[in-house]
Amino acid sequence: MWRKIAKLNELLWEGKAFKSNVDSWLNNFKDQDEKDHALYILSKFIYYGEIFVRELTRAIYRDLFRYPLIKEIRANNNDTMDEVFIEAEFIKQRDKTLILPMGGNSDSGGYLLYLFRQEGDHPMSLFNEDRDPFAVERVILIDDFCGTGKQATDDPVIERVKQLRTTYPHARLYYYMLMGTVDGVKTIRSSYLFDDVKVVIELDSSFKCFSLNSRIFTKTTKFDKKGSKDVCEKYGSKLFDVYNALGFGRCELLIGFHHNVPDNTLPIIWCDDGNIYWVPIFRRHMKNYG
């Protein structure tokens, strides 16, 4: 197991989990049996490094914005194959678009917008709110992750949507994400806050660590699923709370990004501010609203 962890750290985890870090994290657990379960869980952690996050931001522009818009342009012009005409029409539509982060500029959306602009070499006008609001036909909000979809029912998001619809009365409102669970994306869509909700990668129930069809614990897995779940719940209930012991909204995920770890991931991975002293292995950077 140690050899696998070392290889993951070298190739995928950007050097964030050297043996000394893992040892410190394992010392959170009571005995060797718990440590064995924890080490197995860690070996299944999916980490999306900066290179992959950059690729996902490119995919948002290419697959969720550019290609569908070109398809629409062609459909409205007798399925034309004239590349010069199509590109000219696309630029016209692009320039009527405003791209903003979900949340503030200091949140993860602001970081993604920075990568988005870098990777696509996009004009600054796409991100400039100081222009004629009546010339804006679409507003795209960028976010990294959707777990439960609860953000669609939070007052700050509802107020932000109301403000955007008031400021840009002729614009359609889009919500684009790098990644999200099937249920979470469905919840946001069913809120009808946005005219369209799209995600680059959707995670089905197999990504839930202890689900019936879990890809973490399969028929060939040697480790006992119940034993691992008991360990995660034992500590997660103290680090977070009983309901969210396996991640916010009981999402049971094992994923993290270069810039942060979603709270939908098992708390034993990321938590460092619960009711007990805990050394995280992939720390989550919490928001400070003070």
Is residue 282 in a domain? no
Residue span of the structural domain in which 156 resides: 50-203
Same domain for 186 and 67, yes or no, is: yes
Same domain for 115 and 249, yes or no, is: no
- Can you tell me whether residue 49 is helix, strand or coil? coil
Same domain for 250 and 143, yes or no, is: no
Same domain for 105 and 38, yes or no, is: no
Same domain for 236 and 192, yes or no, is: no
Same domain for 198 and 236, yes or no, is: no
Question: What's the number of CA atoms in the CB half-sphere (13 Å) around residue 62?
Answer: 10
Q: What is the pLDDT of residue 192?
A: 93
| CATH for 176 | 3.40.50
Which pair of tokens denotes residue 242?
A: 């009983």
> Of 203, 236, 258, which residue constitutes the final position of a domain?
203
Q: What is the pLDDT of residue 223?
A: 87
Same domain for 242 and 179, yes or no, is: no
Question: What's the number of CA atoms in the CB half-sphere (13 Å) around residue 131?
Answer: 15
Please state, as a whole number, how many other Cβ atoms lie within 10 Å of the Cβ of residue 2: 10
pTM: 0.91
Is residue 275 in a domain? no
Dihedrals phi, psi of 201, to nearest 5 degrees: -125, 125
DSSP state of 61: I
Same domain for 34 and 82, yes or no, is: no
Q: What is the pLDDT of residue 289?
A: 36
The domain tally of the chain equals 2
Same domain for 170 and 121, yes or no, is: yes
Residue 214 burial by Cβ neighbours in a 10 Å radius (0-12, 13-18, 19+)? middle
Is residue 277 in a domain? no
Q: Is the dihedral of CA 62, 56, 266, 202 positive or negative?
A: positive
Is residue 62 in a domain? yes
Find the helix packing angle between 2-11 and 32-43, rounded to 10°: 40
- Alpha-carbon separation of residue 84 from 17, 68, 120 (angstroms): 49, 17, 20
* pLDDT tens by residue, the chain, 290 residues: 778 888 888 888 899 899 999 999 999 999 999 999 999 999 999 999 999 999 999 999 999 999 999 999 999 999 999 999 999 999 999 999 999 998 765 567 788 888 888 887 788 889 999 989 999 999 999 999 999 998 877 888 999 999 999 999 999 999 999 999 999 999 999 999 999 999 999 999 999 999 999 999 998 888 899 999 999 999 999 999 999 999 999 999 999 999 999 999 999 999 987 667 899 999 997 654 34
Is residue 184 in a domain? yes
